[in-house]
Amino acid sequence: MDYKKYILPHIWDLKPYSSARDDFKGSDGIFLDANENPIGSGLAENYNRYPDPLQVHIKDQIAQVKKCSADKIFLGNGSDEAIDLLIRMTCTSESSSIIVCPPTYGMYEVSAALNNVPVTTINLTAEYQLNTDLIIKAIDSTTRLIFICSPNNPTGNLMNREDIYTILNSFKTGFIVIDEAYIDFSDEPSFIQELGEFPQLIVMQTLSKAYGLASLRLGMAFANPTIIKLFNKIKPPYNIGGATQQLVQKALENSHFVTESIQYIKINKSQLIADLKHIDGVLTIFHSDANFILVKFIRAQELFDYLILHKIIARNRSNLALCNDSIRITIGLESENKELIHKIKIFYTKNDV
Ligand SMILES: Cc1ncc(COP(=O)(O)O)c(C=O)c1O
C-alpha cells in the first residue's frame, strides 16, 4: 500500500515537536533541559520529570500479551485519542469522508464532527450485522476511513468475520478501523494477527474494559509501523502521563486479574440474562459478546427513569437507530445485578405489563 497517497500531505511532511529528552537516553544525569522542578513533587512518589513520550516499557509488555511487535503499537490517552488522531491524519473537511455503521460507538461521529469531516452512515442490518453490500456501494473517492466496532457497542455482538474480510478485500484506498474495545470478553481472536495480510487495517483496543483501568486512560492502536510512526509524530508529546505508565506496567504484570474478571463477568452475564428472561416486561435480550447487554423493554423510558430514581444507572439507547425501547446494561457485581433485577421486578409489578 502506498500510504503516502492516503495520509494528508501536511501530516506526512510534518516536522514533529522535538522533545527535551530526544538527545539523551538514560535516567541518570543532571537534567537541566525541560524546565522541570528539580526538588520533587510534594508527594510520596515524585512525578517532577516528564514521562517517556514513546512509552517503551508498556509497549514491550503489550507486545508480549498481544503477540505483535512493539513497532506496531500506538498508545493513546484512551482509544478516543487514537480515533481522533486517525481522523486528523487522513481527512480534510472538503475532500474526505468516513463510513460508520449505526447503532455504534458515538465517538467516531463526534470526532468526525469536531474535525468537520462528513460522515456516511450505513445502518447495521436488523440482526445488528454489517450491511456489507451497502457499505461497499457507499465507498467513493472521498472515503478515507471505515469504522467497524466488533463486538459492537451498544448491541454487544461480534460482527460476522466473513463480512469484515469482504470489506477488507474490497476497500484498499483508505483505512479500515476495527474497534475491539470489548474483544477480551468474546471468544473470537483479535484482528491484530491479520495486520500483515491487510496493510490498510488498524485495530483498536483499550485497557478501560477487561483490564479495569478506565480511569488511567490507555487506549491502543495496532497498525503497520508506518502508520504508528505517523501517530507518534502528531500526538501531543507526553500524551500518557508518568503515573499512568507506572500503574499500567504493574497492572500488566497481574494477568490473573484480567482472566478472573472476564470469567466473573461472563458468569454474571449468564445469570443476569437468565433472571431477565423471567420478567414479563422484557421483550428481547440481544446476544452479547461483551461486558454489557442490550435489552428491549416494555416502557423502556419509564423503567430507565425509575432505575435512576433508585440510583441504578443504566444507559438508555432508545434514541439510536434500530434500538427503540432498548437499555444497555453493564454487567456489574453479582449483588448489583441482583438489586437491578429486584428493582425491575418491582417496576413491572407496580406498572402492569
Ligand atoms: C467501542 C468503544 N471504543 C472505544 C471506547 C473508548 O475507550 P477508551 O476508554 O480507551 O477511550 C469505548 C468506550 O466506551 C467503546 O465502547
Among candidate residues 219, 253, 287, the one where a domain is terminated: 253
Task: Say whether both 242 and 260 belong to one domain.
Answer: no
Cα–Cα distance measured from residue 234 to residue 236, given in angstroms and rounded to the nearest whole number: 7
pLDDT in tens, 256-292: 999 999 999 999 999 999 999 999 999 999 999 999 9
pLDDT at 299 over 90: yes
Task: Say whether both 300 and 189 belong to one domain.
Answer: no
Which protein residue's CA is at the shortest distance from atom 2 of ligand 1? 181
* CATH number of the domain within which 44 lies: 3.40.640.10
Task: Say whether both 335 and 240 belong to one domain.
Answer: no
- Ligand 1 centre to CA of 252 (Å) is 19
Question: What's the pLDDT score for residue 353?
Answer: 60
Looking at the CA of residue 219, tell me the nearest atom of ligand 1. Answer: 10
Among candidate residues 215, 230, 253, the one where a domain is terminated: 253
Average pLDDT in the 13-22 region?
84
DSSP conformation letters of 235-300:
S-TT-S-HHHHHHHHHHHH-HHHHHHHHHHHHHHHHHHHHHHHT-TTEEEE---SSSEEEEEETTH
Question: What's the pLDDT score for residue 24?
Answer: 78
- Ligand 1 centre to CA of 214 (Å) is 9
pLDDT in tens, 189-248: 999 999 999 999 999 999 999 999 999 999 999 999 999 999 999 999 999 999 999 999
* CATH number of the domain within which 265 lies: 3.90.1150.10
The answer to whether 159 and 168 have CB atoms below 8 angstroms apart is no
Written as nine digits, the cell of 55 is: 512509552
Task: Say whether both 157 and 34 belong to one domain.
Answer: yes
User: Residue 102 gets which letter from DSSP?
Assistant: S
pLDDT band for position 22 (50/70/90)? confident
Cα–Cα distance measured from residue 54 to residue 74, given in angstroms and rounded to the nearest whole number: 9
pLDDT in tens, 82-137: 999 999 999 998 899 999 999 999 999 999 999 999 999 999 999 999 999 999 99
Instruction: Provide the domain count of the chain.
Output: 2
Looking at the CA of residue 182, tell me the nearest atom of ligand 1. Answer: 1
What's the pTM value of the predicted model, to 2 decimals? 0.97
- Give Cβ neighbours of residue 133 (< 8 Å, ≥ 6 apart): none
Question: What's the pLDDT score for residue 17?
Answer: 86
Task: Say whether both 16 and 116 belong to one domain.
Answer: yes
pLDDT in tens, 33-88: 999 999 999 999 999 999 999 999 999 999 999 999 999 999 999 999 999 999 99
- Ligand 1 centre to CA of 336 (Å) is 23
pLDDT at 352 over 70: no
Task: Say whether both 102 and 168 belong to one domain.
Answer: yes
Task: Say whether both 60 and 129 belong to one domain.
Answer: yes
Written as nine digits, the cell of 237 is: 508529546
Task: Say whether both 264 and 239 belong to one domain.
Answer: no
The dihedrals phi and psi of 176, each to the nearest 5 degrees, come to -115, 120
The answer to whether 180 and 205 have CB atoms below 8 angstroms apart is yes
Task: Say whether both 151 and 286 belong to one domain.
Answer: no
Calculate the CA dihedral of residues 168, 174, 179, 183 and round it to 10 degrees: 30
Looking at the CA of residue 81, tell me the nearest atom of ligand 1. Answer: 11
Among candidate residues 253, 276, 298, the one where a domain is terminated: 253
pLDDT at 26 over 90: no
Which range marks the domain in which residue 333 is found?
A: 256-350
The dihedrals phi and psi of 247, each to the nearest 5 degrees, come to -70, -35
